[in-house]
């Protein structure tokens, strides 16, 4: 890489929220910020990524001197003393920047491993930088690759597939039972905070109709309006057990409000064979014996928490696979960048030697006098093969991926000097 | 070269594919599962070549003795699994279908019999229809049973709140049940037509509806059990244990019917 690739930033691991919030860049401020940064001397390309967990600037520059200016800019922006900010900042270079971006976009560096929002946030940062024309070729390739790798990580490892909150766990289980959620009906008993949130997630997932029953009918109506649903009287819930597919209970009743006999009657009257019951209340509202009825699946708040815990564990396992995948992708991308980086020197070298070959051949042919076309072809082939053999080793060395950046630069300079390139 | 070389190649690939697919249960990697699929498809291509060889050598479908019938059922089962896989992307069915295909082809390889020439008296349309329809019907019913098993495993996982190794591979309970019902319904219809054709052919040639041979009794018992299973689906009443017991009995009856096939 002829340009220095640098990332300067802080995140939820290195800086408390008090510092992060001072440096936060709102989406509407992206363009102005990028223009400011691009206007700084020595910056060829720049992108910024600002989320609630991180503020990072990615820079492509001919020299690393630019780091100083960026740190000063961050201090001014957050009105933080330099020695204070430096405690929280990290500066990454070359491969570390590539690996960091791949990990961030894949959700491996997030507070909740595998969370899906970060992929969209990285994409938004890329698009904003594209709109402001603040990216150079190197950053453009880096961000495109980052998004490709993030997608690959999510598809191949399924790292973001498992719910890590109680309401999402309920939706995940509902999906595991019903598959397609469109057309399903849910009955909400009581109006606890988690049950409301669960109903909201189910609603978003496609549940068509939500019925709400509460001891206070006014509260039921209010909640029903929120979900574009229907309020029902608490005493009339049994017919709805036969028509609804999902029941969420979270009343403050100190006793069971759904008994096995009610569910058995409902199961006989139902057209479908499955009923998913979620009991989010303590003390429990649904008799645990209901879970023994064929076709009825009962989960209480502990069961859902257990699902969440095992999902967290699963995500951690998958993070291991994802890290290995990211490492492979970093190496592949690094090699590709190096190969692309060496291309101008290689092309120049080939052109210079080809010019020598063509000139010398012409002189030689003039001295030789008349020769047959076959003889000419043989001489041409001989000279071309000689040039190719001479170039073989220097080209291999120029593409060598294990060289350190300084070594690579010095090799390029040496080759240019030896062969008299510009 | 022995014509059975392609059979052994197919068997080798099926064994490797089944093993790799079962390993993916523990590694939980899609790539391992796909590697198993590639091995199985390679085996299936070799299997297809072997079936083609039989047809070319004998001039009739490969359904005249136990090795041929078992092989053809295995071939059809895998074809049905492929169609369902590409349509619904149900990976977990492979954990049941691959071993079944391997088992059936092992029967073909172990019970080595020379390629049978068909008795000229059997060269009737009714007999061919009986054999073909019964075989395709049995293949569909076996795949249907695999999906019924998936539905059962999913039901148990959801009930016990314990995720088994298949949890991630199995689609939703409703998809498993809908698929198993549809496949069983289609398979049962084809199988019924096959049995009717067989009964008619038997009546024409021997003046008896059935002769009480093992394969015939097994086939009729299997038909009754599959009918009971379908009745449960149609009624919309789900009884986990009853479904499991009937499915297991239906599978055993089908295997007995297949193993009861002799030279015809």
Q: Are residues A263 and A301 in the same domain?
A: yes
The answer to whether residue B264 is domain-embedded is: no
- In contact, A280 and A198? CB cutoff 8 Å: yes
In terms of residues, how long is chain B?
264
Q: In whole angstroms, what is the distance from residue A6 CA to residue A96 CA?
A: 9
Q: In CATH, what number is assigned to the domain containing residue A239?
A: 3.40.50.720
**Residues 6+ positions from A357 with CB-CB distance below 8 Å:** A383, A384, A386, A387
Q: In CATH, what number is assigned to the domain containing residue A124?
A: 3.30.460.30
Partner-chain contact B236 A299, CB within 8 Å: no
pLDDT digits (tens, 9 = 90+) for A278-298: 998 888 889 999 999 988 999
Residues of A acting as catalytic residues = 52
CB atoms within 10 A of CB B207: 7
Partner-chain contact A178 B168, CB within 8 Å: no
For the entire predicted model, the pTM comes to 0.68
The answer to whether residue B107 is domain-embedded is: yes
* Domain range for B180: 5-112+122-259
Question: Which residue, A160, A195, A212, sits at the end of a domain?
Answer: A160
Mode of pairing for the β-strands spanning A230-232 and A246-249: unpaired
The predicted structure's pLDDT at residue B46: 94
The answer to whether residue A325 is domain-embedded is: no
**Partner residue facing B158 (CB), from A176, A310, A321:** A176
The predicted structure's pLDDT at residue A324: 94
The answer to whether residue A276 is domain-embedded is: yes
What element of type H or E holds A231? strand A230-232
Mode of pairing for the β-strands spanning A275-279 and A90-93: unpaired
pLDDT digits (tens, 9 = 90+) for A81-129: 888 898 999 999 888 999 999 999 999 998 888 888 899 999 999 999 9
Task: Give, in order, the Cα–Cα distances in Å from A119 to each of A37, A109, A136, A333.
Answer: 23, 12, 21, 19
Q: Does A180 touch chain B (CB under 8 A)?
A: yes
- In contact, A250 and A285? CB cutoff 8 Å: yes
pLDDT digits (tens, 9 = 90+) for A77-86: 888 888 889 8
The answer to whether residue A380 is domain-embedded is: yes
The answer to whether residue A336 is domain-embedded is: no
Give the ipTM of the model, two decimals please.
Answer: 0.76
Q: Are residues A123 and A230 in the same domain?
A: no
Of B216, B230, B226, B209, the C-alpha closest to B258 is: B216
Question: Which residue, A108, A134, A160, sits at the end of a domain?
Answer: A160
Average pLDDT along chain B, 264 residues, taken 10 residues at a time: 81 94 81 90 93 81 78 90 84 86 89 65 78 87 88 89 82 88 92 90 75 78 90 77 86 82 54
Q: In whole angstroms, what is the distance from residue A69 CA to residue A403 CA?
A: 29
The answer to whether residue A409 is domain-embedded is: yes
The answer to whether residue A75 is domain-embedded is: yes
Q: In whole angstroms, what is the distance from residue A268 CA to residue B255 CA?
A: 35
Q: In whole angstroms, what is the distance from residue A270 CA to residue A264 CA?
A: 10
Q: In whole angstroms, what is the distance from residue A205 CA to residue A170 CA?
A: 11
Handedness of CA A8, A12, A13, A15 (dihedral sign): positive
**Partner residue facing B30 (CB), from A156, A179, A274:** A156
Query: Structurally, how many domains does chain A consist of?
Result: 3
The answer to whether residue B117 is domain-embedded is: no
Q: Are residues A156 and A9 in the same domain?
A: yes
- In contact, A248 and A276? CB cutoff 8 Å: no
Q: Are residues A275 and A259 in the same domain?
A: yes
Half-sphere exposure of B176 (CA within 13 A, CB side): 25
The predicted structure's pLDDT at residue A134: 92
A-chain CB neighbours of B161 within 8 Å are 299, 303, 306-307
Q: Are residues A100 and A184 in the same domain?
A: no
The answer to whether residue B71 is domain-embedded is: yes
Q: Are residues A202 and A133 in the same domain?
A: no
Q: Does A271 touch chain B (CB under 8 A)?
A: yes
Query: Structurally, how many domains does chain B consist of?
Result: 1
Q: In whole angstroms, what is the distance from residue A272 CA to residue A267 CA?
A: 8
Task: Give, in order, the Cα–Cα distances in Å from A196 to each of A222, A266, A306.
Answer: 12, 24, 20
First-to-final CA distance of chain B: 27
Minimal-distance CA residue of chain A relative to B236 = A273
Complete DSSP assignment for B152-199: HHHHHHHHHT---TTTTTS--HHHHHHHHHHHHHHHHHHHHHHHHHHH
Partner-chain contact A294 B238, CB within 8 Å: yes
Q: Does A305 touch chain B (CB under 8 A)?
A: no
* Domain range for A299: 166-309
Report the SS3 class of residue A229: coil
B-chain CB neighbours of A158 within 8 Å are 30, 168
pLDDT in tens, chain A (422 residues): 567 899 999 999 999 888 888 888 888 888 889 999 998 988 999 999 998 889 999 999 888 888 989 999 999 988 888 888 989 999 998 889 999 999 999 999 988 888 888 999 999 999 999 999 999 888 999 999 999 999 999 988 888 888 778 888 888 899 999 988 888 999 999 877 777 888 888 888 888 889 999 888 888 888 888 888 888 888 888 888 988 999 999 888 888 889 999 999 888 887 667 899 999 888 888 999 999 998 899 999 889 888 888 888 888 888 998 999 999 999 999 888 877 778 888 888 999 999 999 999 989 888 888 889 899 899 999 999 999 999 998 888 888 777 777 787 888 888 888 888 87
Go through A201-220 and write b for each residue having 16 or more CB atoms within 10 A of its CB, e for each that does not.
bbbebebebbbbbbeeeeeb
Furthest CA-CA distance within chain A = 113
The answer to whether residue A238 is domain-embedded is: yes
B-chain CB neighbours of A271 within 8 Å are 236
The answer to whether residue B156 is domain-embedded is: yes
Sheet holding A90-93, edge to edge: A45-50, A54-61, A4-11, A90-93
Q: What is the CA radius of gyration of chain B?
A: 19
The answer to whether residue B138 is domain-embedded is: yes
Report the SS3 class of residue A336: helix
pLDDT digits (tens, 9 = 90+) for A179-217: 888 889 999 998 777 778 888 888 888 888 899 998 888
Q: Are residues A148 and A178 in the same domain?
A: no
Go through B55-85 and write b for each residue having 16 or more CB atoms within 10 A of its CB, e for each that does not.
eeebebbbbbbbbbbbbbbbbbbbebbeebb
Question: Which residue, A136, A160, A184, sits at the end of a domain?
Answer: A160
Of B66, B71, B63, the C-alpha closest to B194 is: B63
How far is A98 from chain B, CA to nearest CA, in Å? Answer: 25
**Partner residue facing B159 (CB), from A271, A291, A310:** A291
């Amino acid at each position: 890489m002829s340009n220095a690739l640098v990332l300067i930033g802080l995140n939820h691991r290195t800086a408390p929220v008090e510092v992060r919030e001072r440096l936060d860049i709102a989406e509407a401020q992206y363009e102005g910020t990028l223009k400011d940064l691009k206007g700084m001397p020595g910056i060829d390309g720049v992108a910024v990524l600002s989320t609630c967990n991180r503020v990072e600037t990615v820079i492509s520059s001919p020299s690393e001197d630019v780091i100083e200016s960026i740190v000063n800019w961050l201090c001014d922006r957050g009105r933080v003393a330099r020695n204070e900010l430096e405690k929280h900042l990290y500066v990454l270079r070359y491969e570390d920047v590539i690996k960091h971006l791949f990990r961030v976009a894949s959700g491996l560096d997030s507070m909740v491993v595998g969370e899906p929002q970060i992929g969209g946030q990285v994409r938004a940062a890329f698009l904003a930088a594209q709109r402001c024309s603040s990216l150079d070729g190197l950053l453009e390739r880096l961000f495109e690759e980052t998004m490709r790798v993030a997608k690959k990580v999510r598809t191949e490892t399924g790292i973001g597939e498992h719910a890590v909150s109680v309401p999402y766990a309920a939706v995940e289980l509902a999906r595991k039972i019903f598959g397609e959620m469109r057309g399903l009906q849910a009955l909400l008993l009581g109006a606890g905070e988690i049950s409301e949130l669960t109903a909201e997630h189910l609603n978003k997932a496609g549940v068509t109709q939500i019925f709400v029953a509460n001891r206070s009918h006014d509260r039921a109506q209010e909640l029903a309006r929120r979900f574009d649903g229907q309020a029902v009287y608490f005493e009339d819930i049994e017919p709805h057990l036969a028509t609804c597919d999902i029941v969420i209970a979270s009343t403050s009743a100190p006793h069971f409000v759904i008994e096995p006999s009610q569910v058995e009657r409902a199961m006989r009257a139902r057209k479908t064979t499955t009923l998913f019951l979620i009991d989010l209340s303590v003390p429990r509202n649904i008799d645990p014996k209901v879970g023994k009825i064929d076709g009825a699946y009962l989960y209480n708040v502990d069961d859902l928490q257990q699902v969440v815990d095992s999902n967290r564990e699963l995500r951690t396992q998958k993070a291991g696979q994802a890290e290995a995948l990211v490492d492979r992708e970093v190496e592949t991308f690094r090699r590709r960048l190096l190969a692309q980086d060496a291309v101008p020197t290689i092309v120049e070298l080939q052109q210079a030697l080809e010019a020598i070959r063509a000139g010398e051949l012409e002189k030689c042919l003039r001295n030789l006098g008349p020769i047959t076309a076959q003889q000419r072809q043989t001489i041409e082939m001989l000279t071309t093969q000689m040039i190719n053999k001479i170039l073989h080793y220097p080209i291999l060395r120029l593409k060598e991926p294990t060289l350190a950046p300084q070594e690579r630069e010095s090799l390029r300079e040496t080759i240019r000097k030896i062969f008299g390139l510009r | 070269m022995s014509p059975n070389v392609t059979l052994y190649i197919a068997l080798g690939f099926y064994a490797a594919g089944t093993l790799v697919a079962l390993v993916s249960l523990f590694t939980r990697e899609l790539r391992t599962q796909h590697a198993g699929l590639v091995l199985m498809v390679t085996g299936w291509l070799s299997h297809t070549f072997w079936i083609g060889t039989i047809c070319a050598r004998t001039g009739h479908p490969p359904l005249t003795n136990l090795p041929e019938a078992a092989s053809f059922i295995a071939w059809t089962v895998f074809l049905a699994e492929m169609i369902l896989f590409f349509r619904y992307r149900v990976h977990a069915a492979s954990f049941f279908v691959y071993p079944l295909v391997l088992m059936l082809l092992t029967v073909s390889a172990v019970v080595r019999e020379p390629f049978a020439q068909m008795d000229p008296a059997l060269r009737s349309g009714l007999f061919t229809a009986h054999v073909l329809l019964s075989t395709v019907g049995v293949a569909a019913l076996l795949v249907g049973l695999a999906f019924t098993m998936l539905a059962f495993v999913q039901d148990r996982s959801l009930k016990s709140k314990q995720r088994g190794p298949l949890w991630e591979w199995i689609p939703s309970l409703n998809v498993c049940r809908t698929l198993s019902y549809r496949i069983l319904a289609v398979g049962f219809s084809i199988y019924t037509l096959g049995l009717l054709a067989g009964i008619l052919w038997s009546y024409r040639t021997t003046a008896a509806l059935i002769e009480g041979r093992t394969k015939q009794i097994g086939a009729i018992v299997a038909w009754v059990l599959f009918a009971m299973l379908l009745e449960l689906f149609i009624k919309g009443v789900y009884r986990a244990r009853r479904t499991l017991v009937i499915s297991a009995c239906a599978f055993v009856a089908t295997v007995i019917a297949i193993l009861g096939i002799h030279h015809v």
